Amino acid sequence: MSTNAATDPMIGRMIDQRYRVRSRIARGGMATVYLATDVRLERRVAIKIMHGHLADDQAFRERFIQEARSAARLSHPNLVGVYDQGAEDDTAYIVMEYIPGITLRDLLQEHHALTPEQATDILRAVLAGLASAHRAGIVHRDLKPENVLLADDGRIKLGDFGLARATTANTATGAALLGTIAYLSPELVTRGAADSRSDIYALGIMLYEMLTGEQPYKGEQPMQIAYQHANDSVPAPSAAVAGVPPELDELVAWSTARDPEDRPRDAREMLDHMAGNQQRATGQYRTAVLRPENATAILPSGGGAGSAAGAPGANTLAAGAAAAAPSSPDSADATAIIQSPDRGRPVNRGRNAPPGPRRTGSQPGVLSPAGQRLADQSAKRRKRGWILLSVVVVLALIGAGFGWYFGPGPGGNVRIPEVTGKSVSQARQLLEAQGLHAASKTGTRFDAVVAKGQVSTTKPAAQREVQRGSAVQLVVSSGPRMIALPAIVGQPISTVTAALDDDFELQDNRYEFSADAAKDTVIAATGRASGGKALDLTSVKAYGETGPVTLTVSLGPVPDVVGKTVDEASAALDDVGLILGARTEEYDESVPSGQIVSAAVQDSPAVRGSAVDVVVSKGPTPITVPEDGVVGETINDATATLEGLGLKVSVPDCTNILCGFYDWKSKLPVTGTDPGAGATVYRGDTVTLSYDQ
C-alpha cells in the first residue's frame, strides 16, 4: 500500500467504476495528480482530480473542464495526451497519459544549470509541442519548468493546459493574473492580455533559467518581480555564465523582448529560427562565389570585328569576351578579369593592367613575349575556373547522393512502429513496411498487460529513430509473472489486503453474511483465468502479477431474531444492513403472541440489502370444547376425547359408597363440562367433567 493512503482518502478509491487510484504523484493549487489504473483497458494512467473545496466554484470547475477540452484537441509526440474527463459526485477529474520520469524543475534542482546543448534540445522539444498548440489556436499561458516532463525513456513532453485558452479569447478576467509570476510576460502584467507571444516570453525565461540555473528577476514580493518584467530587459545569459554561445544570447533577447511585436509571433517561427541557426553553424548553408559570366577582356588591335570598333593600333575593351570559347588567334589573345577576393564581383583593372598585347607589323598573328605571357595566364585562369566548377558540380552530386541515401534511401532514419499487442508475424510485417526487419532471435519478458505470445515491446523502443534496414528485436510477452499467494481464507481483511496490494490489482470487496466466519475475515478470493473465466484463488498456489483479485469478506452471522418482537427484529436487522421481509402468523404453544417464531433469509448467501422473512406467533391454538364425544359418554371416553385435543381433564371424586365397588369412570356418563360445550379454550387448559352420582 502507498504510504499516503492513510491520509489521502482518494488512495484505493474506484472512480467511475473504471479508474482505481494507486498513489499520489503531485499536488497543485487547483488539483492533485494521482497514478491510477484503468481497469477496463488494463493500463496505468495519470488522473488529475480537482480539489474538493473548489468543486463548488463554477469558475474553477469550468477552467478545469477547459483544460481537458484544450488538451484533447491536440495530438503531438511532445504533448501529454488526454484520454478522458468526467465528474463523479463532487469529484471532477481528467485522465491523462502517464509519463514516468521527472520534471524540468527536478532536473534544474539536481544540476543547477544545463549545458547549451541540453538546453536547446529541451527547448526544441517544447517548441515542437507548443507549435502544435499554437497551430490549433490554443495558448498555454502557464509555461514553467514544472510543466515540462522528462520521461525515463528520453521523451520530452509539455503538459498542464489548466490555464489554456483560445487565442481569440486572450484577455484575463478579474483582478488576479493567471500563471506563475516568474514567467509572466509584460503585457500580462500590465494589461492582462495573452497570446502566443506570451508563451514565447515564458519560454525565453525558461531558456535563461536552464542556461544560468536561476531566474532573471528576483524579489521578496511577487509585485517586485512583476514590476521588473514590465520595466526591465532580461540580461544576456553569458553575463552570468561564461561559455554561452552568442546565438543563445540573441535567442533569449528576441523571445523576451518587452514589446510583443519584437518577439517571434509563435512557437513555429522560433523553432524554424533555431533550425536555421543550427544549419548555419554546421556549415549546411554556404554561399558559393562563381566566376561572373560578363567578364571583360582586352582584345588585340588590328583587323576583324575587334578593330572595327576602335582606332587602328588601340587596345579595345569588350564585355563578354571571357565567356566565349576562343575560335581564332585573335580571341585566344584575351586578358581575364581579376576576381575581387572580398565581394566576389569582377573588377576591371584596365587602367592599371600591363599594356595589352600587340601584333608586330612584320609577323601578323604573332604575339610579343609580354602578350604571350598574358595569354598563358588567361588560359590558366580559365582552366582553374572549369576545375572549380567541376568540383562544385561533383560536390553537389555527392551531397545529393548523401541526401538521398540518408533520406528516402537505405541510409535514412525511420521510426520504429508501435507493435505492442500484435502477433509476431504482424509485428514483422509492420517493421518491413517501415524498411526495417525483425532480428532472428526474439526476446521474452513478463508482461501483466499484454497476453502471452504477443509482442510486449521492441529493442530499440517504439517511436525511436533508427537507420532504415536496421534489425529490431521483438520482445514477446511471457504473460504475467507468477507470484505465490499468501494465506487468505480465515485471515483478517486488513492482513490480506496488505499482503496482496503491492503485487495484484485489488477490486472492490464483496461482503456476505456467514455463520461460520467471524466478521471482517476473508471467506473467499476470486481472480481471472486466461480465458476470462473466474478463478478460485484458494485452489491455486500462485497467480499472475497485477491480476485482478476480488475478496469476499464475512459480515458475521445473520442476527437471531427468534423470540423478538417485530419492531425489535426490524431494528436488529437494520443495524447490519438487512431488511425485514414478508411476515406470516401462526399459532405456537411455546412462543407468546407477537413474538417471532422463526426467520429465513431470502438470498443465499445473504448480503447487505437481503430480506429476512419471519413467522410471528399468534399464541397457543384455540380449541372449542366439544359436546359430541363428551356429554353422554363415559367419563373415561370423554377424558380421552378432551386430552386428544390437548386439554387437561379434571373429574371430581365420586362420593357414592357404591363407587368403591366397581369402575365407575368407565360406567358413569358425563352430564356436562366446565367450561361448557362451545366454549373456547387453549391447549393445556383444564376442562372439568360433571356426572350424576
Residues labelled as active-site residues = 142
Residue with cell 519584437: 262
Contact 241, 211 (CB under 8 A): yes
Distances in Å between the Cα of 22 and the Cα atoms of 19, 502, 668 are 9, 10, 93
Closest among 350, 352, 356 to 371, alpha carbons compared: 356
Distance of CA 449 to the CA centre of its chain: 16
Distance of CA 112 to the CA centre of its chain: 29
Closest among 153, 155, 81 to 458, alpha carbons compared: 153
Residue type, 570: S
| Distance between CA atoms of residues 360 and 371, nearest Å | 11
Question: SS3 string of 5-31?
Answer: CCCCCCCCCEECCCEEEEEEEEECCCE
In sequence order, what are the beta bridge partners of 437? 471
| Distance between CA atoms of residues 669 and 629, nearest Å | 11
Helix 196-212, helix 116-135: angle, nearest 10? 170
Residue type, 153: D
What does residue 92 show for φ and ψ, rounded to 5 degrees?
-100, 135
Alpha helical stretches, state H, 234-332: 246-255, 267-281
What pairing do the DSSP bridges indicate for beta strands 455-459 and 482-484? unpaired
Contact 167, 117 (CB under 8 A): no
| Distance between CA atoms of residues 168 and 162, nearest Å | 17
The enclosing H or E element of 374 equals helix 369-406
Contact 15, 93 (CB under 8 A): yes
Exposure string of 152-180, with b = 16+ CB inside 10 Å and e = fewer, is eeebbbbbbbbbbbeeeebebeeeeebbb
| Distance between CA atoms of residues 594 and 585, nearest Å | 9
Alpha helical stretches, state H, 437-587: 493-500, 566-575
| Distance between CA atoms of residues 688 and 693, nearest Å | 15
For the chain, first and last CA: distance in Å?
A: 93
Residue type, 128: A
Q: Is 389 helix (H, G, I), strand (E, B) or coil?
A: helix
Contacts of 681 (CB under 8 A, 6+ apart): 622, 623, 624, 625, 647, 675, 687
DSSP per-residue string spanning 482-524: EEE----TTSBHHHHHHHHTTTSEE-PPEEE--SSS-TTBEEE
Question: What value does the CA radius of gyration of the chain take, rounded to a whole number of Å?
Answer: 50
| Distance between CA atoms of residues 493 and 550, nearest Å | 12
Angle, CA of 77, 247 and 260, to the nearest 5° = 70
Closest among 37, 30, 138 to 95, alpha carbons compared: 37
